[in-house]
Amino acid sequence: MIEVCGLTKTYLTHERGHTLKEMAVNVIKRPMKEVHAVKDISFTVETGGMVAFLGPNGAGKSTTLKMLTGVLHPTSGEATALGFTPWKNRREYVRRIGAVFGQKSQLLWDIPPIDSFYMNKAIYGVPDRAYKETLDHLTELLGVTTLIRKPTRQLSLGERMKCEFIMAMLHRPELVFLDEPTIGLDVIAKENIRDFIRSMNQQGVTFILTTHDLDDVELLARRVIVINHGELVFDDSISALRGQLGMRKAVRLSTEQPVAELHLPGVTLIKRHHDRELELEIDVELFPLKSFISHINEQYGILDMAMEPLPIETVMKQLYASEPRPGSFGAGSRIAASYR
């Protein structure tokens, strides 16, 4: 469905200092800096996939997604999605894709979402019957049948986000890009949105998900692509991502006796809440669990112990912390990448 080969985006941006002198100089002369936002990335996405596209702020993921939606032109490289080159066949291509931005609303603020839906129906040229069927189906699935007639400004964030999804799905796209779809939502609203995404995915819609909420990733994605400093640093299944953690466990421990320095193989002190309460990370391949429990109990007396697999955040932090190759920079807060 999506094939990306050697996609690269480089742009020039100006740098400005914050002092009065630097600002004054900047009015006359603006030093330019070349930024390599995306560097030669390649990947493919199969039809019906649910792929999380992750990376720290400024990693280049938004630039990549903007190229894949046809909004930006790459400096070099190729990409095809649904058989189109997004930036060359923009109009035909966007008719078959959808996009939901957690921080950019497509709804009109002062009027009910139903009016915005009607406007999108006309923009996409959706026939009356198909529009009604899809709208009925989506409103029922998201439980917003009555809400869509209230002015958007009176809806809660969760309700608005559900309407954003309807707006993006009315023309029955085959491929949907989600950018932070659950940002700012409460747990119930998040669950509803995730259920909806899952349901649509089961109906054959391919999703590319960009998020910083790793619960979204764990609960939705089957595959994870991580980009950092403009480079692809991981592309595999979610289980392979967990596999990167090895046999490590997170342990929270309360003891009878104060715990001094711990010098045990495979045991790392993560946080000391108190001299008798610690958070540890144990590599059970280096120090078997049975031996660890026995050792701690003998030395300090275990009062309470909780153990769980390391959160996916741990491996993400490792991937995000990787150093850039010489000569590359992050994309920065403003993506000064040209439309063409």
CB of 131 to another protein, least distance (A): 11
CB contact at 8 A, 159 and 142: no
Taking only Cα atoms into account, the Rg of the chain, rounded to an integer number of angstroms, comes to 24
CB contact at 8 A, 302 and 255: yes
Examine residue 340 and tell whether it contacts another protein (CB under 8 A). yes
User: How many alpha carbons lie under 13 Å from residue 56 in its C-beta half-sphere?
Assistant: 18
CB of 295 to another protein, least distance (A): 48
Nearer to another protein, 167 or 280 (CB): 167
Residues in the chain: 340
- The correct pick among 8, 75, 115, 277 for binding another protein (CB under 8 A) is 115
Buried b (16+ CB within 10 A) or exposed e, 189-227: bbebbbebbeebbeeebbbbbbbebbebbebbbebbbbb
Q: Name every residue whose Cβ is closer than 8 Å to that of residue 233 and which is 6 or more positions away in sequence.
A: 226, 227, 319, 322
Examine residue 323 and tell whether it contacts another protein (CB under 8 A). no
Taking residues 11 to 50 in sequence order and writing x for each that binds another protein by CB under 8 A, - otherwise, the string is ----------------------------------------
CB of 24 to another protein, least distance (A): 19
Instruction: Specify the stretch interacting with another protein by CB under 8 A; choose among 17-25, 114-122, 237-245, 252-260.
Output: 114-122
CB of 72 to another protein, least distance (A): 6
Instruction: Specify the stretch interacting with another protein by CB under 8 A; choose among 120-128, 222-230, 247-255, 320-328.
Output: 120-128
- The correct pick among 1, 25, 119, 233 for binding another protein (CB under 8 A) is 119
Q: Name every residue whose Cβ is closer than 8 Å to that of residue 327 and which is 6 or more positions away in sequence.
A: 36
Examine residue 210 and tell whether it contacts another protein (CB under 8 A). yes
Instruction: Specify the stretch interacting with another protein by CB under 8 A; choose among 65-73, 242-250, 267-275, 316-324.
Output: 65-73
Examine residue 62 and tell whether it contacts another protein (CB under 8 A). yes
Measured CA to CA, the distance from residue 47 to residue 173 in angstroms comes to 12
CB of 115 to another protein, least distance (A): 5
Q: Sign (positive/negative) of CA torsion 324, 5, 331, 340?
A: positive
Measured CA to CA, the distance from residue 180 to residue 122 in angstroms comes to 27
Edge-to-edge strand ranges of the sheet holding 2-14: 32-45, 2-14, 76-81
- The correct pick among 9, 36, 39, 66 for binding another protein (CB under 8 A) is 66
- The correct pick among 50, 51, 54, 65 for binding another protein (CB under 8 A) is 65
Measured CA to CA, the distance from residue 5 to residue 334 in angstroms comes to 25
List the interface residues with another protein, window 69-98 (CB under 8 A): 69-72, 90-92, 94-95, 97
Examine residue 179 and tell whether it contacts another protein (CB under 8 A). yes
DSSP track, 231-284: EEEEEEEHHHHHHTTTTEEEEEEEESSPP-----TTEEEEEEEETTEEEEEEET
Nearer to another protein, 129 or 340 (CB): 340
Q: Which amino acid is at 254?
A: S
Nearer to another protein, 117 or 300 (CB): 117
Q: What angle do CA 110, 334, 64 make, to 5 degrees?
A: 90
CB of 108 to another protein, least distance (A): 5
Residue ranges that bind another protein, judged by CB under 8 A: 58, 61-63, 65-66, 69-72, 90-92, 94-95, 97, 99, 101, 104, 106, 108, 110-111, 115-116, 118-119, 121-125, 151, 179, 210, 331-340
